[in-house]
């Protein structure tokens, strides 16, 4: 009798715990959907007054202009992609190189020290990275390229590369490690050198993991705000190259949302920018997820 | 283990005591708004609190627009603003049945700064306007070196941005190439590093406590036209006599007629003690006309 009762209580407890965790899981999904709806809801009124095509393709953004208010986001979209692209160009070779070194070359003891240190890099607050951009990389870039100042897209790219590196290195290294040992042994047994084994066998085998890590790093770079706000100069003009000052979508929202009068076109337009940004990061993260998923399926 | 426990007890104890102490004090007055005025009002508050030890005031920046919005939304008691309240904002207050009272607590000479290595000494108002509109893009056009001009200005939530746009740019658009900086201090920092830079900041931000201009900076003399005398905002008498062309009042606003502590604080600011602090901080004391206006707003 007693045992039976105990069993029933256990079963009840199990059900309770299960419901609890399911609620949590659903909550996360609901929050995501809620944010999307809220963004869309707040962005839609903007298009009563702004032509959608002009919004997406306009180069000038000057909502407080005394002459003519303009809401074109193309310059900031291009700026965002520019710093992100620049960051990836810097971070991918370094990231994969370090990951390969850690998984294949480094002494296990070295790896045990270096890997946690790299992962700690991810914990540096973005304000601190931005500050580095102002006092260290900015003057350095200005000096190297003979510019009057270093507040430009290149500076932002370097900083975002630093911020994306921990993600790229950590996940790439994990996926290199996950390549079955038999691949490596077979390659070496056929007479391939360690370098050939790494480049021709291991990296292609781990490619989906590496690509996913890059996509995740990219997602972080696109959404990063404080660092680019501090280091890129925030000039809303259409960028002419990596050495011109730029203002990204995130920086525009951060700068202007604090002062904008509520429920005005400007306010709704900023949510429109947020919506575009959300869709971009969503697509990037989704593709990273799909690639990772395929990779895991193949592993099984 | 015992030591750990002890530390834990102390921490928990502190956690319990500290919030209690804050609560025990009186309600904290919130002053919010213009970044140009933050330093000045901070000193005013410090001196006021020295004379009234039980009083608690907290000062926040964020820009004039932010301060006025907070005042209307009821999240601060006094708003600092370096531009007059806009029609739109007055309407918003009226809709909520609020009457805003505005006081002038100081006069600010807006200084135009360049790098100390720049040979240019003076500019006319219309030259400065053309530079910031992006019509003049090289220093040689205004008698300087052959060097492209780099613009440093504020962000659109700043009262300084709006004032400068109205009074110097002739209410035209800023050049989209202008770097939008976060505050006065950032502009000072950027221009002192950038040989090609030009920026505008409150005069209180270009001199240290001894009244000397910060190293690396040069404050330009400004004239109304080419054949008129150019005056420096560093020369107090010229500003007070109205000869320096870029001056503006600095405001504080309250909801309704100020009473109690708020009134006491404003009376202190516009009184002789407060005005002495104003000039010590690099701003200029208010004249007779403004005194009368303040007195009127304090009464009836």
The per-residue pLDDT for range B160-205, each reduced to its tens digit, is 888 899 889 988 999 999 999 888 888 998 899 899 999 999 888 8
B26-107+249-298 and B108-247 have identical folds: yes
pLDDT above 80: residue A248: yes
- Taking the Cβ of residue A229 and every Cβ of chain B, the question of whether any pair is shorter than 8 Å is answered with yes
Share above pLDDT 70 across residues of chain B, in percent, rounded to a whole number: 91
Class of domain A54-299: mainly alpha
pLDDT band of residue B4 (cuts 50, 70, 90) is low
Other beta carbons less than 10 A from residue B74's beta carbon? 10
Please state, in angstroms and as integers, the Cα–Cα distance from residue B112 to each residue in A47, A189, B115, B139, following that order. Answer: 39, 73, 11, 15
Spatial separation of the C-alpha atoms in residues A258 and B296, rounded to whole Å: 33
The answer to whether B173 contacts A67, with C-beta atoms less than 8 Å apart, is: yes
For A272, half-sphere exposure in the C-beta direction (CA atoms, 13 angstrom radius) is: 27
Cβ neighbors of A199 (< 8 A, separation 6 or more) are: none
The residue among A236 and A260 whose pLDDT is bigger is A236
Q: Name the superfamily (CATH) of residues B26-107+249-298.
A: Periplasmic binding protein-like II (3.40.190.10)
Q: Where are the domains of chain A?
A: 2-43, 54-299
A residues 254..283 contacting B (CB < 8 A): 255-256, 258-259, 261
Tell me whether B238 touches chain A (CB under 8 Å).
no
Q: Are A148 and B115 in contact (CB under 8 A)?
A: no
**Residues on chain B touching A233 (C-beta within 8 angstroms):** 179-180
Task: Tell me which of B79, B92, B156, B197 to substitute to probe the interface with A (most A C-beta atoms closer than 10 Å).
Answer: B156
B255 alpha carbon, distance to own chain's centre: 21
* pLDDT of res. B112: 95
- For chain A, give the mean pLDDT: 90
Mean pLDDT check: name the lowest of A166-180, B3-17, B279-293: B3-17
Indicate the CATH number for domain B108-247: 3.40.190.10
Determine the distance in angstroms separating the CA of B139 from the nearest CA of chain A, rounded to an integer: 13
With an 8 Å Cβ cutoff, are B190 and A148 in contact? no
* Residues A222/A281, Cβ–Cβ less than 8 Å: yes
HEC string of A112-165 equals HHHHHHHHHHCCCCHHHHHHHHHHHHHHHHHHHCCCCCCCCHHHHHHHHHHHHH
Token pair, residue B167, equals 């009074």
With a threshold of 0.90, does the pTM exceed it?
no
Report which DSSP code applies to B265. H
Is-contact B268 B52, C-beta < 8 A? no
**Region B285-294: what's the mean pLDDT?**
84
Rounded mean pLDDT of A284-293?
83
- Interchain pair B177, A245: CB under 8 A: yes
> What are the tens digits of pLDDT across the range A95-113?
999 999 999 888 999 999 9
In chain B, domain spans: 26-107+249-298, 108-247
pLDDT at B61: 85
Q: What is the SS3 assignment for A5?
A: helix
Asked casually if ipTM beats, i.e. exceeds, 0.90, the reply is no
A-proximal residues of B, 132-151, CB under 8 Å: 147-148, 150-151
Q: Give the minimum alpha-carbon distance from B163 to chain A in angstroms, rounded to a whole number.
A: 12
Confidence of residue B24 (pLDDT cuts 50, 70, 90): very low
């Amino acid at each position: 009798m007693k045992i039976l009762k105990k069993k029933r209580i256990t079963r009840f407890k199990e059900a309770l715990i299960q419901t609890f965790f399911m609620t949590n899981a659903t909550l996360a999904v609901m929050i995501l959907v809620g944010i999307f709806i809220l963004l869309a809801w707040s962005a839609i009124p903007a298009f009563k007054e702004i032509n959608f095509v002009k919004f997406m393709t306009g180069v000038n953004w000057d909502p407080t202009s005394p002459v003519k208010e303009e809401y074109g986001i193309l310059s900031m979209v291009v700026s965002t992609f520019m710093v992100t692209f620049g960051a990836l160009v810097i971070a991918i070779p370094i990231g994969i190189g370090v990951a390969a070194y850690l998984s294949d070359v480094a002494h296990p003891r070295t790896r045990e020290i270096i890997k946690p240190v790299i992962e700690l890099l991810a914990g540096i607050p973005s304000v601190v990275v931005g500050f580095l951009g102002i006092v260290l990389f900015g003057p350095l870039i200005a000096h190297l390229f003979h510019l009057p100042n270093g507040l430009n897209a290149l500076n932002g790219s370097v900083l975002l590369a630093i911020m994306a590196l921990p993600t790229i290195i950590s996940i790439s290294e994990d996926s290199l490690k996950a390549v079955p040992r038999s691949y490596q042994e077979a390659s070496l047994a056929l007479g391939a050198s360690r370098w050939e084994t790494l480049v021709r066998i291991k990296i292609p085998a781990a490619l989906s993991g590496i690509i996913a890590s890059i996509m995740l790093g990219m997602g972080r770079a696109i959404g990063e705000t404080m660092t680019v706000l501090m280091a890129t100069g925030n000039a809303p003009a259409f960028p002419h190259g990596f050495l011109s000052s730029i203002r990204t979508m995130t920086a525009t929202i951060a700068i202007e949302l604090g002062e904008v009068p509520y429920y005005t076109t400007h306010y709704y337009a900023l949510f429109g920018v947020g919506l575009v940004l959300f869709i971009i990061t969503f697509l990037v993260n989704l593709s990273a997820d799909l690639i990772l998923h395929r990779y895991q399926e193949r592993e099984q | 283990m015992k030591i750990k426990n002890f530390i834990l007890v102390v921490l928990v104890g502190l956690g319990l005591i500290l919030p209690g102490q804050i609560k025990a004090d009186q309600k904290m007055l919130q002053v919010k708004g213009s970044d140009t005025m933050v330093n000045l009002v901070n000193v005013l508050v410090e001196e006021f609190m020295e004379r009234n030890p039980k009083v608690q005031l907290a000062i926040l920046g964020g820009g004039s627009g932010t301060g006025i919005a907070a005042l209307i939304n009821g999240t601060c008691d006094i708003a600092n603003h370096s531009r007059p309240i806009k029609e739109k904002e007055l309407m918003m207050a009226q809709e909520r049945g609020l009457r805003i009272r505005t006081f002038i607590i100081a006069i600010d000479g807006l200084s135009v700064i360049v790098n100390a290595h720049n040979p240019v000494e003076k500019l006319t108002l219309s030259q400065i306007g053309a530079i910031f509109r992006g019509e003049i893009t090289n220093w040689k056009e205004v008698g300087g070196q052959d060097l492209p001009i780099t613009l440093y200005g504020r962000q659109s939530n700043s009262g300084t941005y709006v004032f400068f746009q109205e009074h110097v740019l002739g209410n035209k658009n800023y050049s989209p190439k202008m770097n939008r900086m976060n505050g006065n201090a950032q502009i000072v920092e950027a221009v002192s590093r950038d040989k090609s830079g030009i920026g505008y900041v409150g005069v209180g931000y270009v001199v240290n406590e001894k009244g000397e201009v910060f190293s690396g900076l040069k404050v330009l003399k400004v004239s109304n036209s080419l054949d008129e005398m150019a005056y420096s905002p560093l020369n107090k008498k010229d500003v007070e006599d109205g000869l320096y062309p870029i001056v503006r009042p600095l405001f504080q606003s309250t909801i309704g007629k100020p009473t109690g502590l708020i009134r006491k604080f404003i009376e202190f600011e516009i009184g002789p003690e407060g005005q002495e602090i104003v000039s010590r901080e690099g701003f200029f004391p208010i004249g007779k006309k403004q005194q009368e206006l303040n007195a009127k707003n304090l009464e009836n």
